[in-house]
Structure formats: C-alpha cells, structure tokens
Amino acid sequence: MLTNKQKKKLLKNRNHRKISAESSYITQMKRYRELFSDFPDIKFLINNVLESDHLIKSKLLPQELPELLLPDNSQDLIFKKINQEFDQGDPAGDQLWNQLTDALPKLDKALRSYRDYLEKQYGMWAYISGPFIKSLAAYIGDSPVLEVMAGNGYISKGLRDLGLTVYPTDSLEWVTENQTGKHQVTQIEKLDAVSAINKYQSKVKFVIMSWAPDKGTADVAVLEAIRKADNDLKLIVIGEKNGATNSKAFWQKAHIIEPEAAKKLNAHHQPFDLIKDQVYLVD
C-alpha cells in the first residue's frame, strides 16, 4: 500500500507523465476490450471506463465506478480458458497465452491511469458521479449553495440540473498549469474562495469545497471565513483526509460533524483507485 507521501508524489508527477491523449487512451481501452472479450470480469472494468468517458464527453455526469483493479486470478482465468480451447502444445494457444499475459500489466497500468486521463482531458479531479450528485442534492434540499474552488464546475452543473440554486466560483489561477477552467461545464464566476464567501454568505446555507490543494493554506482561510460569517454556514468537503488533498493544518482545524449523513453521501462516492477521497461535513 502506498503511503500518503508516495501518493502525493504520484499526484505531483501527473503533469509530467506521458498520459495518452483522448483518442489514443480510449482507442487503447477499446482494443483491450476486444482482446479480453472472453473474460467477463476484466471486460466489466474496461466497459466501465469507456462508458464513463462517453458520458463525460457527452456533458453528462458519469456512473459510479467499481474499483479499477484487475482480479487477482486473472492469469489463472486466462490459463483455464486457453486449456479449454487449445490442445497442449498448440502454437496458437501458446501465442494467445503470450499475447494476453503480456497485455495484463499494460491494462492494469491503463486502468490505474484513468483518473490521470480525466484530469488531463476534462479537468475532472474529484470523480463526480450522477448518483452522488443526487444524494448530495437530497442532503442540501432547497437551500442555495456556494461552491468555491469549483474548477470546471461538475458539482455545480449537476446540482443546477436538479434545480438547485448554486453559485460556482473559482480563482481560475490554475488555467496556465492544467485543464482547470479550460473546459467549464457551467458558468464559473472568477472569485477566490474567501471573496466568494464574503460575497455570498448571506445568500447560502452550504459551501462546497472539493479537492483543495494540499499546498498552501487557502483551505484554512475558507474554514476561518465560514466561521466568521454572519450567516450559519456549513462546509461540505470532498477530499482525502491527511492524504492527497487539503493542507495538514486544515484537517487539524476542521470539526467533522454529522457522520451518519456523511456516510449516506459516501455510499455513492466510493474510491476507485489509490486516492481514497470521501465527503466530510465540517463546521
């Protein structure tokens, strides 16, 4: 298991990796689907990636994802299948065995790189699914919402599509470094987080902050601004506690509340890779 330090290093290196462009990554996954078409458990994972990408590309929120991890017995399944279809020593069977087993580690790496692909292609950092947004909307109810650090606006668009009043804001300072702000799915107001809270505190009950950077103290400033606000605001945080998102100081200062409500929200926000981000309700 990777340590928090290793996971942070993984995130830092993302912008320097040679992640496939959309066409090559998705084409590659389609080839793997064809290659492993006789293995339902493996094909299931590939199909989830392809369906997720298709929905996001269509400006829709994707489905929930299973853990994108190949079955431990994948090689055994291949061996059993080849023994059923080919006589022992058949060169065709040996060739297929080599082809499939050589592809397994490459497919494993491709599945593990799906979040990297989403970040590079769509600027989607937290994986926001349709079912999760429905549960979030049910928790929020009719109350207006402010989203800070909204990025390209996947959360705000999902809530807006369900009829909620949402004010999505972002400083957009990352535009020159990654895809944040370049592929907005809903209109984002250019405001830093504290300025946004000062502007909208009298209009909203909830503030959403998703995947705040683990460097700097912008998230602590958000927490302090919420506590100083005239209105009684509740902070909804999506991130990995003491891990890949938010500063250490934030997690030390945050008062996590309503664990049962958070548990219901997290029923539709399950980790699919090494990053174990969750929903936290904070005051």
Residues 273, 115 contacting (CB under 8 angstroms): yes
Overall CATH class of domain 130-282: alpha beta
The token duo for 197 is: 């809270």
Cα 17 to Cα 278: distance, rounded to the nearest angstrom = 26
Q: Say what the pTM is.
A: 0.87
Given a cut of 60, is residue 133 above it in pLDDT?
yes
Q: Where in the chain is the domain with CATH 3.40.50.150?
A: 130-282
pLDDT at res. 17: 45
Helices (H), the chain: 4-12, 22-35, 40-57, 74-85, 91-112, 114-122, 130-140, 154-161, 193-200, 218-228, 248-253, 259-266
Query: In 3D, which of 125, 132, 169, 126 has the Cα closest to residue 147?
Result: 169
Q: Cα torsion for 123, 127, 132, 133, to the nearest 10°?
A: 0
Looking at residue 221, its pLDDT comes to 98
pLDDT at residue 239 in the model: 97
The predicted pLDDT at position 5 comes to: 54
pLDDT digits over 29-66, tens only? 999 999 999 999 999 999 999 999 999 999 999 999 99
Q: What is the mean pLDDT of residues 217-226?
A: 97
- pLDDT computed for residue 173 by the predictor: 80
